[in-house]
Amino acid sequence: MRLIGIYVISKWVMVIIELVKRAQRGDDKAFLELFQLAEADIYRTAYVYLGSKEDALDVVQETAFKSYKSIGNVKEPQYFKTWLIQIAISCSIDVLRKRKKEVNWNPEYLDLITVTVEEDIPLSITLQDLVEALTVEEKEVIVLRFYYDYTIREVSEILRIPLGTGKTLLYRALKKLRNCVEKGDDYAFKSN
C-alpha cells in the first residue's frame, strides 16, 4: 500500500516538473494550470497574514503577476508551490509595511462609517485574533509549520533563516499562543 502512495506522489511530482518546464518555455496554459493548483493555498496564506479578503485577493493577483514574470528563475520545479508561497508571503509583508504608513481613522468616526458583520464561526475569529497577535516572523513560522505541515528544517529553508532561529521563533510563538489560551484572553499580547 505504501509503495502505491510513493508511486502516486512521484507521478504527481513528474507532472508538476513537466508543467513548470512548459511554462518556462512560454506555455501560458501550463502556467495557468500550475497557478490554479496553488491558488487556494496562496489566498489562505495571504488571509492569515492580512486578515482581509480584499487584501488577500490583491496578494493572489500580485503573486500571479510576479510568478508569471519570473517563472524562468525556478531552478527546482518540484518545489514550484513552495516558490509561490514564498512570493505570496513576500507580497503579504509588503502590504503590512504599507499599512504601517497609513494614517488610521479616529475611532469616533470609524464607528460611524463601518458596518458590523457577524461571522458564522466565532471560533475562526478567535483563532485569527490569536495568530494576528504574533510578530510577522512568528506568524511565518507558525503558518508554514502547522498550516502547510512543513518540517521546521523546511520552514527555515523557505524563510532563509538558520535552523536555530526557526526553532526559536516557533517555540516563542507557541509559548505566546499557549499563555494566551490558558489565560482565556486573546488580547494578552500584541504584535509589533
Amino acid at 128: Q
Distance CA 35, CA 161 (A): 26
Q: Stretch 46-69: mean pLDDT, rounded?
A: 92
Helix-strand-coil split of the chain, %, nearest 5: 80, 0, 20
> Considering only 39-48, 102-111, 117-126, which range has the smallest mean pLDDT?
117-126
Task: Look at residue 58 and tell me whether its pLDDT is greater than 60.
Answer: yes
Q: Report whether 120 contacts 134 (CB < 8 A).
A: no
Inter-residue contact 170 to 141 (CB < 8 Å): yes
CA angle 64, 136, 61 (to 5 degrees): 15
The pLDDT-based confidence of 16 (bands split at 50, 70, 90) is confident
Average pLDDT, the chain: 78
| Domain architecture of the chain: domains with CATH | 1-102 (1.10.1740.10), 106-192 (1.10.10.10)
